Amino acid sequence: MISHANFLPNVEDVAYSFSQAAKNYDQVAGLQRLVADELITKGADLHNGCVLDIGSGTGYVSAKLADVEAVDKVTGLDIAQGMINYAQSCHHSSKLNWQLGDAQQLPLVLPDHANTYNLVISSLAIQWCKNLNAVFAGVAQCLAEDGTFHCATLGPQTLHQLKWAWGQVDDYQHVNEFVPLNVLRKALENHFVQVEIECEPIELKYKSVQQLTKDLKQLGASNHNARAAQGLMGVGRLRKMVQAYESLRDEKGLLPVTYEVYYIKAKNKVE
Ligand SMILES: C[S@@+](CC[C@H](N)C(=O)[O-])C[C@H]1O[C@@H](n2cnc3c(N)ncnc32)[C@H](O)[C@@H]1O
C-alpha cells in the first residue's frame, strides 16, 4: 500500500461526507468543473464506445460523455449513495447508468466487466483512495485491449498555503495528503503502458479563509486525515491559523489557494 494511505479516511467516511455534500456540491464545485472540463477537452479523441466514470459524483462528466455521439454507454460509479441518487435524478440520457461501489473493488463491483470499457475516466476522485494499486489493477482489468485510462487527480502541492498556515499553529495534520508524482508514476507503470502525466497547478483566489474552509466542507473535501485528532479545530487554533493565512493576502487583497492537478493518460497493458 502507498504510504500516504495511512492518513486517508475510511471509505465509509468518504461515502458519508460526499453523500451529505451532494445537494449543494454543484454550486461550490468551481475547481472541480475547471478540472473536469480540461480532462474532457484533453481526451476528446478517446470518447467512444463503452465508458466507465469512476467517482462520478453528481454526474457532470458522465452526462457530458453520454452526449457524445460515438459513446454508446456510460456507467457512473461512486461510493456515495447520495451522489448516485442525485446524479440519477439530474441526468436522463438512456446511455447512462449508475453504480454504487468502491473504485478499490472494481472486480467485485463490476463482475463480468473484464475487458469491457474503451475508456475509464475519473476526475478528482482517486485521491480519496487508500489503495491506489487496487484501483489501477481493477481499471486495467476492466479496460478493453486498446482501452485508455484518463484521469485527473491532485498532487502534494495542493492547498500548500492552508498546510503552511496550520503549520504555524501546531504539528498535526490538518490538510489531506496527496501522492507524490514519482510514487504515482511507479504505481501506474505496474499496470499500464505509455503512462503520461501532465502537472498543472491552478491558483484560485478567495476573499476569506472561512469561505475556503466552507467550500472544502461543502465539497466533502474537508480534512479527514486519521492523524487529525479530535478537538484540533478549537476556536483558538482556528483563529491562529486564519491569522497566519491572512498574511498571504496579495496586492488585490485576495488569498491564494493552490491546487496541483495531475492529468494522467495510460494505455492498457496487453498481456
Ligand atoms: C471531488 S468529487 C468529483 C466528482 C466528479 N468526478 C466531478 O468531477 O464533479 C469525488 C467523488 O469521488 C467519489 N469517491 C471517493 N472515493 C471513492 C471510491 N473509493 N470509489 C468510488 N467513488 C469514490 C466521492 O464520493 C465523490 O463523489
Chain segment 34-52, per-residue pLDDT in tens: 999 999 999 999 999 999 9
Indicate which residue's Cα is closest to atom 14 of ligand 1. Answer: 55
What is the average per-residue pLDDT within 138-161?
96
Q: What pLDDT sits at residue 2?
A: 58
**What distance in angstroms lies between residue 78's CA and the mean position of ligand 1's atoms?**
6
Q: What pLDDT sits at residue 51?
A: 98
Angstrom distance (rounded) from CA 207 to CA 96: 38
DSSP 8-state assignment for residue 237: H
| Ligand 1 pocket, mutate which of 8, 10, 11, 14 (most atoms under 8 A from CB) | 14
Decide: 216 and 222 in contact? Cβ < 8 Å: yes
Domain boundaries, the chain: 3-159+175-203+259-268
Provide the residue type at 28 as one letter: V
Angstrom distance (rounded) from CA 10 to CA 37: 28
pLDDT above 70 covers a percentage of the chain that reads 92
Decide: 32 and 219 in contact? Cβ < 8 Å: yes
Q: What pLDDT sits at residue 227?
A: 47
Q: Verify whether ligand 1 is closer than 6 Å to residue 104 (CB atom).
A: yes
**What distance in angstroms lies between residue 123's CA and the mean position of ligand 1's atoms?**
8
Q: Which CATH number fits domain 3-159+175-203+259-268: 3.40.50.150, 1.10.3720.10, 3.10.105.10, 2.60.120.380?
A: 3.40.50.150
Angstrom distance (rounded) from CA 261 to CA 163: 17
Q: Verify whether ligand 1 is closer than 6 Å to residue 102 (CB atom).
A: yes
Q: Verify whether ligand 1 is closer than 6 Å to residue 177 (CB atom).
A: no
Q: What pLDDT sits at residue 226?
A: 42
The grid coordinates of residue 80 equal 456515495
Q: Verify whether ligand 1 is closer than 6 Å to residue 215 (CB atom).
A: no
| Ligand 1 pocket, mutate which of 18, 40, 142 (most atoms under 8 A from CB) | 18
**What distance in angstroms lies between residue 54's CA and the mean position of ligand 1's atoms?**
7
Give the CA angle between residues 222, 52, 8 to the nearest 5°: 25
Compute φ and ψ for 119, nearest 5 degrees: -145, 130
Helix (H) or strand (E) holding 29: none
Indicate which residue's Cα is closest to atom 1 of ligand 1. Answer: 124
The grid coordinates of residue 28 equal 461550490
**What distance in angstroms lies between residue 256's CA and the mean position of ligand 1's atoms?**
25
pLDDT above 90 covers a percentage of the chain that reads 75
Q: Verify whether ligand 1 is closer than 6 Å to residue 14 (CB atom).
A: yes
| Ligand 1 pocket, mutate which of 79, 150, 219, 261 (most atoms under 8 A from CB) | 79
What is the average per-residue pLDDT within 149-171?
94
Q: Which residues lie closer than 8 Å to 165 by C-beta, 6 or more apart?
A: 209, 241, 242, 244, 245, 248
Provide the residue type at 113 as one letter: H
Tell me the pLDDT of the chain averaged across its residues: 91
Please name which of 107, 221, 108 lies closest in space to residue 174, comparing C-alpha atoms. 221
Question: Could you report the per-residue pLDDT of 171-193, keeping only the tens digit for each?
Answer: 888 888 899 999 999 999 999 99
The grid coordinates of residue 125 equal 476522485
**What distance in angstroms lies between residue 247's CA and the mean position of ligand 1's atoms?**
33
